[in-house]
A and B are shown apart, each in its own frame.
Chain A
Amino acid sequence: GQQLNQSPQSMFIQEGEDVSMNCTSSSIFNTWLWYKQDPGEGPVLLIALYKAGELTSNGRLTAQFGITRKDSFLNISASIPSDVGIYFCVSSNTGKLIFGQGTTLQVKP
Protein backbone atom coordinates (compact mmCIF):
# COMPACT_ATOMS: atom_id res chain seq x y z
CA GLY A 1 0.00 0.00 0.00
CA GLN A 2 0.94 3.65 -0.04
CA GLN A 3 3.46 4.68 2.55
CA LEU A 4 4.68 7.91 3.98
CA ASN A 5 8.27 7.82 5.17
CA GLN A 6 8.87 10.28 7.95
CA SER A 7 12.23 11.32 9.37
CA PRO A 8 13.77 11.58 11.78
CA GLN A 9 11.99 9.06 13.99
CA SER A 10 12.90 10.99 17.11
CA MET A 11 14.61 14.19 18.16
CA PHE A 12 15.90 15.42 21.48
CA ILE A 13 16.65 19.11 21.41
CA GLN A 14 17.36 22.06 23.67
CA GLU A 15 14.67 24.64 24.30
CA GLY A 16 15.06 27.51 21.86
CA GLU A 17 16.45 25.41 19.03
CA ASP A 18 14.79 25.14 15.64
CA VAL A 19 13.44 21.78 14.47
CA SER A 20 13.00 20.35 11.01
CA MET A 21 11.30 17.13 9.98
CA ASN A 22 10.18 15.79 6.63
CA CYS A 23 8.00 13.26 4.93
CA THR A 24 8.44 11.55 1.58
CA SER A 25 6.44 9.17 -0.52
CA SER A 26 6.79 7.31 -3.78
CA SER A 27 3.22 8.36 -4.61
CA ILE A 28 1.87 11.73 -5.62
CA PHE A 29 -0.61 13.32 -3.26
CA ASN A 30 -2.90 16.32 -3.58
CA THR A 31 -2.95 17.12 0.12
CA TRP A 32 -0.36 17.12 2.88
CA LEU A 33 -1.32 17.54 6.49
CA TRP A 34 0.72 17.82 9.67
CA TYR A 35 -0.74 16.63 12.97
CA LYS A 36 0.59 16.73 16.51
CA GLN A 37 -0.22 14.22 19.21
CA ASP A 38 0.24 15.21 22.82
CA PRO A 39 0.84 12.40 25.31
CA GLY A 40 -2.40 10.56 26.08
CA GLU A 41 -4.40 12.47 23.48
CA GLY A 42 -5.55 12.01 19.91
CA PRO A 43 -3.75 13.84 17.07
CA VAL A 44 -4.71 17.42 16.31
CA LEU A 45 -4.32 19.20 12.97
CA LEU A 46 -1.54 21.80 12.83
CA ILE A 47 -1.24 22.75 9.17
CA ALA A 48 -2.94 21.73 5.94
CA LEU A 49 -1.33 22.11 2.49
CA TYR A 50 -3.28 21.84 -0.74
CA LYS A 51 -1.02 23.06 -3.55
CA ALA A 52 2.41 21.98 -4.78
CA GLY A 53 4.98 24.52 -3.62
CA GLU A 54 2.65 25.98 -0.99
CA LEU A 55 4.36 27.37 2.10
CA THR A 56 2.12 27.89 5.13
CA SER A 57 2.80 29.13 8.63
CA ASN A 58 0.94 28.70 11.89
CA GLY A 59 2.72 30.67 14.60
CA ARG A 60 6.18 29.18 15.03
CA LEU A 61 5.36 26.34 12.64
CA THR A 62 6.03 26.43 8.92
CA ALA A 63 5.23 23.67 6.47
CA GLN A 64 5.76 23.28 2.75
CA PHE A 65 4.16 21.09 0.10
CA GLY A 66 6.95 19.79 -2.15
CA ILE A 67 6.94 20.75 -5.81
CA THR A 68 7.01 17.12 -6.88
CA ARG A 69 3.93 16.50 -4.66
CA LYS A 70 5.80 13.58 -3.13
CA ASP A 71 7.15 15.30 -0.05
CA SER A 72 6.57 17.86 2.65
CA PHE A 73 8.51 19.33 5.54
CA LEU A 74 7.64 20.92 8.85
CA ASN A 75 9.80 23.42 10.70
CA ILE A 76 9.36 24.58 14.28
CA SER A 77 11.25 27.67 15.27
CA ALA A 78 12.43 28.55 18.78
CA SER A 79 11.14 25.35 20.38
CA ILE A 80 9.49 25.43 23.81
CA PRO A 81 8.73 22.59 26.25
CA SER A 82 5.08 22.33 25.15
CA ASP A 83 6.25 21.37 21.65
CA VAL A 84 6.89 17.90 23.07
CA GLY A 85 4.85 15.22 21.35
CA ILE A 86 4.62 13.11 18.23
CA TYR A 87 4.33 14.87 14.88
CA PHE A 88 2.70 13.05 12.01
CA CYS A 89 2.64 13.81 8.34
CA VAL A 90 -0.62 12.71 6.81
CA SER A 91 -1.89 12.58 3.31
CA SER A 92 -5.23 11.92 1.80
CA ASN A 93 -6.17 9.62 -1.03
CA THR A 94 -9.63 8.48 -2.07
CA GLY A 95 -11.07 9.46 1.29
CA LYS A 96 -8.48 7.65 3.36
CA LEU A 97 -6.05 9.47 5.62
CA ILE A 98 -2.61 7.84 5.54
CA PHE A 99 -0.20 8.48 8.41
CA GLY A 100 3.57 8.56 8.49
CA GLN A 101 5.31 6.72 11.32
CA GLY A 102 5.70 9.92 13.33
CA THR A 103 8.57 12.00 14.70
CA THR A 104 8.82 12.02 18.47
CA LEU A 105 10.08 15.36 19.73
CA GLN A 106 11.52 15.91 23.18
CA VAL A 107 12.55 19.36 24.36
CA LYS A 108 14.98 19.88 27.18
CA PRO A 109 14.29 23.06 29.16
Chain B
Amino acid sequence: NAGVTQTPKFRVLKTGQSMTLLCAQDMNHEYMYWYRQDPGMGLRLIHYSVGEGTTAKGEVPDGYNVSRLKKQNFLLGLESAAPSQTSVYFCASVAGTEAFFGQGTRLTVV
Protein backbone atom coordinates (compact mmCIF):
# COMPACT_ATOMS: atom_id res chain seq x y z
CA ASN B 1 0.00 0.00 0.00
CA ALA B 2 1.52 3.24 -1.16
CA GLY B 3 0.32 5.17 1.91
CA VAL B 4 2.37 3.25 4.50
CA THR B 5 6.11 2.92 4.16
CA GLN B 6 8.32 0.80 6.38
CA THR B 7 12.08 0.97 6.58
CA PRO B 8 14.21 -1.04 6.48
CA LYS B 9 12.77 -4.02 4.57
CA PHE B 10 15.36 -6.47 5.83
CA ARG B 11 17.81 -6.49 8.71
CA VAL B 12 20.07 -8.94 10.48
CA LEU B 13 21.06 -8.11 14.04
CA LYS B 14 23.35 -9.72 16.53
CA THR B 15 21.95 -10.56 19.95
CA GLY B 16 22.15 -7.49 22.16
CA GLN B 17 22.23 -4.94 19.36
CA SER B 18 19.63 -2.22 19.12
CA MET B 19 17.70 -0.87 16.18
CA THR B 20 14.71 1.25 15.24
CA LEU B 21 12.07 0.42 12.66
CA LEU B 22 10.38 3.37 11.02
CA CYS B 23 6.80 3.53 9.81
CA ALA B 24 5.58 6.53 7.87
CA GLN B 25 2.04 7.21 6.62
CA ASP B 26 0.79 10.06 4.46
CA MET B 27 -2.95 9.57 5.02
CA ASN B 28 -3.26 11.75 8.13
CA HIS B 29 -4.54 8.82 10.20
CA GLU B 30 -4.65 9.06 13.95
CA TYR B 31 -4.28 5.37 14.73
CA MET B 32 -1.09 3.46 13.99
CA TYR B 33 -0.06 -0.04 15.01
CA TRP B 34 2.95 -2.31 15.13
CA TYR B 35 2.44 -6.07 14.68
CA ARG B 36 4.75 -9.03 14.49
CA GLN B 37 3.94 -12.05 12.36
CA ASP B 38 5.22 -15.51 13.19
CA PRO B 39 4.26 -18.74 11.42
CA GLY B 40 0.90 -20.12 12.54
CA MET B 41 0.25 -17.24 14.94
CA GLY B 42 -1.33 -14.57 12.82
CA LEU B 43 -0.42 -10.98 13.54
CA ARG B 44 0.12 -10.07 17.17
CA LEU B 45 -0.14 -6.49 18.32
CA ILE B 46 3.02 -5.11 19.92
CA HIS B 47 2.16 -1.45 20.57
CA TYR B 48 -0.23 1.04 19.13
CA SER B 49 -0.92 4.75 19.09
CA VAL B 50 -4.21 6.62 18.94
CA GLY B 51 -2.61 9.94 18.11
CA GLU B 52 0.51 12.06 18.13
CA GLY B 53 2.30 11.85 21.45
CA THR B 54 0.37 8.79 22.67
CA THR B 55 1.32 5.13 22.79
CA ALA B 56 -0.17 2.02 24.40
CA LYS B 57 0.83 -1.59 24.92
CA GLY B 58 -0.61 -4.36 22.84
CA GLU B 59 -0.57 -8.11 23.27
CA VAL B 60 3.22 -8.67 23.15
CA PRO B 61 4.97 -5.43 24.19
CA ASP B 62 7.93 -6.83 26.14
CA GLY B 63 11.33 -6.02 24.65
CA TYR B 64 9.97 -3.21 22.46
CA ASN B 65 9.48 0.51 22.83
CA VAL B 66 7.67 2.95 20.57
CA SER B 67 7.39 6.65 19.98
CA ARG B 68 4.93 8.85 18.06
CA LEU B 69 6.52 12.28 18.09
CA LYS B 70 4.96 13.21 14.75
CA LYS B 71 1.54 12.12 13.55
CA GLN B 72 2.87 10.61 10.36
CA ASN B 73 5.63 8.52 11.98
CA PHE B 74 5.49 5.60 14.39
CA LEU B 75 8.84 4.18 15.49
CA LEU B 76 9.44 0.73 16.95
CA GLY B 77 12.63 0.22 18.92
CA LEU B 78 14.46 -2.85 20.09
CA GLU B 79 16.93 -1.88 22.81
CA SER B 80 18.64 -5.26 23.13
CA ALA B 81 17.64 -7.68 20.41
CA ALA B 82 17.03 -11.34 21.23
CA PRO B 83 16.65 -14.34 18.90
CA SER B 84 12.99 -14.57 19.99
CA GLN B 85 12.44 -11.26 18.21
CA THR B 86 13.22 -12.79 14.86
CA SER B 87 10.01 -12.13 12.97
CA VAL B 88 8.33 -10.13 10.25
CA TYR B 89 7.14 -6.77 11.54
CA PHE B 90 4.20 -4.93 10.04
CA CYS B 91 3.10 -1.41 10.61
CA ALA B 92 -0.50 -0.38 9.99
CA SER B 93 -2.28 2.93 9.75
CA VAL B 94 -5.98 2.81 10.47
CA ALA B 95 -8.99 4.78 9.33
CA GLY B 96 -12.17 3.60 11.03
CA THR B 97 -11.94 -0.18 10.89
CA GLU B 98 -9.79 -0.43 7.76
CA ALA B 99 -6.10 -0.94 8.31
CA PHE B 100 -3.52 -0.09 5.65
CA PHE B 101 -0.36 -2.12 6.05
CA GLY B 102 3.21 -1.54 5.05
CA GLN B 103 5.14 -4.21 3.21
CA GLY B 104 6.85 -5.47 6.33
CA THR B 105 10.34 -5.65 7.80
CA ARG B 106 11.98 -9.05 7.99
CA LEU B 107 14.23 -9.06 11.05
CA THR B 108 16.61 -11.85 11.95
CA VAL B 109 18.44 -11.85 15.26
CA VAL B 110 21.42 -14.19 15.42
Chain A positions within 8 Å of B, measured between CB atoms, are 1, 6, 9, 31, 33, 35, 40-45, 48, 50, 88, 90, 92, 95-102
- With most chain B CB atoms within 10 A of its CB, the pick from A50, A100, A101 is A101
Rounded to whole Å, the gap between the CB of A31 and the closest CB of chain B is 5
B contact residues vs A (CB 8 Å cutoff): 1, 4, 31, 33, 35, 40-45, 48, 50, 58-59, 90, 92, 94, 97-99, 101-104
* A24→B25 CA distance, assembly (Å): 32
Residues in chain B near residue A45, CB distance under 8 A: 98-99
Do residues A88 and B43 form an inter-chain contact, with CB atoms below 8 A? yes
CB atoms of A42 and B92 under 8 A apart: yes
Which of B42, B59, B92, B98 sits near A48, CB closer than 8 Å?
B98
28 A-B pairs, CB-CB below 8 angstroms? A1-B59, A41-B101, A41-B104, A42-B1, A42-B90, A42-B102, A42-B103, A42-B104, A43-B99, A45-B98, A48-B98, A50-B97, A90-B99, A95-B31, A95-B48, A96-B33, A96-B45, A97-B33, A97-B45, A97-B92, A97-B94, A97-B97, A97-B99, A99-B43, A99-B44, A100-B42, A101-B42, A102-B40
Taking A42-B1, A43-B99, A95-B31 as contacts, is the C-beta distance between A9 and B40 under 8 angstroms? yes
Tell whether, in the assembled complex, residue B58 and residue A96 are in contact, meaning their CB atoms are under 8 Å apart.
yes
Interchain Cβ contacts within 8 Å, total number: 59
A103 to chain B, nearest CB (A): 10
Q: Are B103 and A95 in contact (CB under 8 A)?
A: no
B41 — which chain A residues lie within 8 A by C-beta?
A: 101
Q: Residues of B contacting A88 with CB < 8 Å?
A: 42-43
A48 — which chain B residues lie within 8 A by C-beta?
97-98
Query: When chains A and B are docked, how far (Å) is the Cα of A102 from the Cα of B92?
Result: 17
Is the CB–CB distance between A101 and B40 below 8 Å?
A: yes
